[in-house]
Amino acid sequence: MEPTRNSHATLVDLLDRVLDKGLIIHADLIISLAGVPLIGVNLRAALAGMETMIQYGIMEEWDKCTRTWESEHRKARRAAAISGEEVLLEIPGSYHYSQGIYTAWRTGRIYLTDKRLILYNPSFDEVLFETPLQGIKGLTLEEEKCFTEKARKSLCLLLDSGEIARLHTSDVPGLKEAIERRLLTLGLSWQQIPGLSLQDKKTASFLIGGEEVLCQGETWHLAISHSQGIAPSQNWQHGCLYLTNRRLCWWHDFERRLEFEVPLEHVVHSILVTNECKAAHTNNRKKVLDVIYQGGCGKEVVSFSGDHLMSWERELNRIVSSEGIATNRYPELADPQEEIGSDAVLQAPEQKRKLN
Amino acid sequence: MGLETEYVDDTKAGQGQKNKVKEEALYLYCVADGGEQASLGAIGISGHEVYTIPYNDICAVVHHCPAQPYQSDNQEVMKTWVIEHQGVVDMAWKKWGTVLPSSFDTMIKGESRDGAEQNMKDWLKREHENLRNKLDKVRDRAEYGVQIFWDPNVIAQNLMETNPEIRELNKEIKLKPKGLAYMYRQKLENLIKREMETSADTCFRVFYSRVKKHTGDIRVEKTKKAEQNLQMVLNLSCLVHKDKYAGLGEELSQINQMKGFSVRFTGPWPPYSFVGGS
């Protein structure tokens, strides 16, 4: 390996030596004692980088220049991110990013161009979210509690991928209107989707394309764990039960994932039972909804507890029979007729969004 | 910052202040291994005439100017001065073989040019033994800069493959449910960070001793922020005999070929890092 002394590439090496090192005169007659370190710092700052400069507090002018340059540059970069497109609306905003267990509102600038909707962060030159306008299949405004516990509006976009994107900005209705206006100009059709509840956010993460939620509700799920040598232990877990047009599934709030799912054609029957033993530790409720389904090793039972169990039972059995699956009654279990008196006033499970 | 604002470019630098007693000075580039009186021509900073002040078997390489340090807000001007300073030192180095380079803006003053020259001579006389020793120490030697960098991504990847503890943990993560996997990933990151630090220490020791055996003297410099995604793990100034530098180059080539490592090898420089102190 040969050493280099190419003057440009090694300028910093040269400065390190000429300014910091070298022969020192110990004499009263030296004049530059005060001057040297100043010059050294000043010159070094010019070449070493911002940290040093700020550290010595001598680069205010430079800093100002740099900021001006940066803001010019930013404009140029913005132009690069959306070159060739006409910007119809530019507004600071944020996008609800969710990946695995990580969720966050990522902020940047929302650009509505003639072709796309983009959220761009100029500081990091990063496109946080983008969709072609053709990809927008539906829009809705949603009220939700943000982290400050204040209700605020955000804009939900249903994309053709089945994903739901959430955007927030100071003027959400204005943004929605601008997008709709552009969609109209482009001759694109979209849907006004009814407002979604907070709960619905979860569904976006597990719904398969074309799948829609028919019913959903807060429920407890009985988890039974088998460990060797010990009697099986049971544990009620909190979450949300979903009945979609394809599956029955239960979302575990704590783990933030689907803990249980079964295709509808495998659901055999659901029945509301009074089971002191099972129900023992679930909010003093004595009723349990047992769903019998075709599992990997024959018929299996999964138990849920919570509100509106009768409605769940009815809905499930309706689906099962309409699927043409034989419905078997289980006469040994409690007679559902008994329950009607007390449960009849309960509301049906919330009717969920249908994208029509 | 009073001085700076007054001397904003090189045309003003070096001019005496009006309401002060006018003093003259000699700007010192280096002390050279030769007792002759010589003129090197107008090769100095801002085209100053460079000449020597001899004493016994050594001389000071200087130019004459008003007693004001060179300062400027203009970075291009400053850069040019430093390169001019280095140019004179190089010239003297070539001419006399051995030099003790001085820092930028090292000047000795006097009431007149003659006075300043006398003061310089007195200084050479007073410091002769010390300067003579230093000259002997750096004779036939040059300074080289050696900076070794690593690419943290490559090193971390390597640790993932070779470190049993990290490998095990990485395997475990894949079996964990999402929430737990997150915690495990944090743990893994911390572990990798710790191992990287240990690894950097080891690299430092190993590379230091590998480089040191080719040098006569060595200085450990502060590591600096590196360009791109690299990290500087070692920054050395090495005093190397002119017959030995090929061996150092060979050693550095080997390090340069190691996966994830790269070397910056600069020089030969006049021995700036080895002439300070007394």
Higher pLDDT: A309 or B144? It is B144
- Average confidence score pLDDT of chain B: 86
A302 and A226 in one domain?
A: yes
CA distance B150 to chain A (A): 17
A160 and A236 in one domain?
A: no
CA distance B58 to chain A (A): 14
CA-based radius of gyration for chain B: 26
What is the distance between the alpha carbons of residues A233 and A240, in angstroms, rounded to a whole number? 22
A215-242 pLDDT per residue, tens: 788 788 888 777 666 667 777 888 888 8
Q: Which one of B266, B273, B274, B278 would you mutate to disrupt binding with A, by most A Cβ within 10 Å of its Cβ?
A: B266
DSSP SS3 for A26:
coil
Q: Say if CB B134 and CB B100 are below 8 A apart.
A: yes
Closest of A314, A210, A231, A301 to residue A260, by C-alpha? A301
Q: Which of B67, B82, B265 sits opposite A14 (nearest CB)?
A: B82
Burial A71-81 (b: 16+ CB within 10 A, else e): eeeeeeebeeb
End-to-end alpha carbon distance in chain A: 72
A252 and A338 in one domain?
A: yes
CATH number of the domain enclosing A142: 2.30.29.30
CB contact under 8 A, B249 and A21: no
Which residues from A are below 8 Å from B104, CB to CB?
18-19, 22, 36, 39-40
Strand order in the sheet with A102-113: A126-132, A116-121, A102-113, A87-99, A164-169, A151-159, A136-145, A191-192
What is the distance between the alpha carbons of residues B248 and A325, in angstroms, rounded to a whole number? 83
Q: Does residue A50 have a pLDDT over 70?
A: no
Higher pLDDT: B211 or A185? It is B211
Q: Does residue A195 have a pLDDT over 70?
A: no
> The tokens of A30 are what?
């030296």
A204 within domain boundaries: no
A280 and A257 in one domain?
A: yes
B196-225 pLDDT per residue, tens: 989 989 999 999 999 999 999 999 988 887
Q: Which one of B82, B112, B255 would you mutate to disrupt binding with A, by most A Cβ within 10 Å of its Cβ?
A: B82
A319 and A290 in one domain?
A: yes
CB contact under 8 A, B144 and A4: no
Please give the full DSSP string across chain B, using - where no structure is assigned: -HHHHH--STTTTTPPPTTS---EEEEEEEEES-----EEES-SGGG--EEEEEETTEEEEEEEEES-----S-HHHHHHHHHHHHHHHHHHHHHHS-EEEB-TT-EEEESSHHHHHHHHHHHHHHTHHHHHHHHHHHTTEEEEEEEEEE-HHHHHHHHHHH-HHHHHHHHHHTTS-HHHHHHHHHHHHHHHHHHHHHHHHHHHHHHHHHHHTT-SEEEEPPP-PPSTT-EEEEEEEEEEETTTHHHHHHHHHHHHHSTTEEEEEEEEE-SGGGS---
A4 within domain boundaries: no
CB contact under 8 A, A2 and B249: yes
DSSP SS3 for A201:
helix
Overall domain count for chain A: 3
- Taking a contact as any Cβ pair under 8 Å apart, which residues of chain A between 255 and 294 contact chain B? 255-257
Tell me what percent of the residues of chain A surpass a pLDDT of 70. Answer: 59
CB contact under 8 A, B82 and A29: no
A187 and A92 in one domain?
A: yes
> CB-based burial of residue A2 (10 Å sphere; 0-12 exposed, 13-18 middle, 19+ buried)?
exposed
What is the distance between the alpha carbons of residues A101 and B255, in angstroms, rounded to a whole number? 42
- Average pLDDT for A123-138: 84
A339 and A260 in one domain?
A: yes
CB atoms within 10 A of CB A203: 21
Instruction: Give the orientation angle of helix B178-212 with respect to helix B164-173, to 10 degrees.
Output: 160
Q: Does residue B88 have a pLDDT over 90?
A: yes
Closest of A74, A106, A108, A105 to residue A91, by C-alpha? A108
CA-based radius of gyration for chain A: 32
A153 and A254 in one domain?
A: no
Least confident of A7-16, A257-266, B8-17, B101-110: B8-17
A291-344 pLDDT per residue, tens: 888 887 788 888 888 877 888 888 888 877 775 444 443 433 334 443 433 333
Last residue of a domain, one of A160, A192, A224: A192
Quickly state the pLDDT bin for A67 (edges 50, 70, 90).
low
Higher pLDDT: B96 or B103? It is B96
B30-65 pLDDT per residue, tens: 999 999 999 999 999 999 999 999 999 999 999 999
Q: Which of A11, A29, A35 sits opposite B105 (nearest CB)?
A: A35
Higher pLDDT: A51 or A254? It is A254
Preceding omega of A263 cis (within 30 degrees of 0): no
- Average confidence score pLDDT of chain A: 70
A38 within domain boundaries: yes
Total count of residues recorded for chain A: 356
- Top mean pLDDT of A110-119, A217-226, A326-335, B19-28 is at A110-119
- Taking a contact as any Cβ pair under 8 Å apart, which residues of chain A between 8 and 37 contact chain B? 10-11, 13-27, 29-32, 35-36
What is the distance between the alpha carbons of residues A136 and A183, in angstroms, rounded to a whole number? 9
A198 within domain boundaries: no
* Nearest C-alpha in B relative to A24: B276
Domain that holds residue A48: 11-22+29-60
Q: Does residue A86 have a pLDDT over 80?
A: yes
A225 and A111 in one domain?
A: no
A316 within domain boundaries: yes
Q: Say if CB B139 and CB B240 are below 8 A apart.
A: no
What is the distance between the alpha carbons of residues B255 and B260, in angstroms, rounded to a whole number? 10
Closest of B82, B142, B147, B149 to residue B273, by C-alpha? B142
A354 within domain boundaries: no
What pLDDT is stored for residue A77 in this prediction? 58
Q: pTM for the full model?
A: 0.48
Q: Say if CB A82 and CB A119 are below 8 A apart.
A: no
Which residues from A are below 8 Å from B179, CB to CB?
101, 254-256
What is the distance between the alpha carbons of residues B235 and B237, in angstroms, rounded to a whole number? 7
Q: Which one of A10, A23, A44 would you mutate to disrupt binding with B, by most B Cβ within 10 Å of its Cβ?
A: A23
Quickly state the pLDDT bin for B243 (edges 50, 70, 90).
confident
> The tokens of B143 are what?
């300074």
Please report which helix (H) or strand (E) contains residue A334, including its range.
none
What is the distance between the alpha carbons of residues A275 and A295, in angstroms, rounded to a whole number? 22
* φ and ψ of B253, to 5 deg: -60, -40
In sequence order, what are the residues at sequence separation of 6 or more whose Cβ sits closer than 8 angstroms to the Cβ of residue A99? none
| B266: alpha, beta or left? (left if phi > 0; alpha if psi -120 to 50) | beta
CB contact under 8 A, A35 and B85: no
ipTM for the complex shown: 0.78
A322 and A223 in one domain?
A: yes
> CB-based burial of residue B25 (10 Å sphere; 0-12 exposed, 13-18 middle, 19+ buried)?
buried
A337 and A241 in one domain?
A: yes
Written in H, E and C, the secondary structure of A295-321 is ECCEEEEEEEEECCHHHHHHHHHHHHH
Q: What angle do CA A13, A19, A24 make, to 5 degrees?
A: 125
A356 within domain boundaries: no
Which residues from A are below 8 Å from B25, CB to CB?
31
Q: Does residue B270 have a pLDDT over 90?
A: yes
Q: Which one of A5, A17, A205 would you mutate to disrupt binding with B, by most B Cβ within 10 Å of its Cβ?
A: A17
* Nearest C-alpha in B relative to A257: B178
Q: Does residue A145 have a pLDDT over 60?
A: no
Closest of A70, A183, A67 to residue A125, by C-alpha? A70
Tell me what percent of the residues of chain B surpass a pLDDT of 90. Answer: 53
A213 and A339 in one domain?
A: yes
What are the residue ranges of helices labelled H in chain A? 11-20, 35-48, 50-56, 60-81, 172-185, 200-206, 276-279, 309-322, 337-343
Which residues from A are below 8 Å from B102, CB to CB?
22-25
> The tokens of A104 are what?
């966050």
Higher pLDDT: B255 or A162? It is B255
DSSP state at residue A349 = P
A320 within domain boundaries: yes
Which residues from B are below 8 Å from A43, CB to CB?
75, 78-79, 82
- Top mean pLDDT of A48-52, A305-309, B98-102 is at B98-102
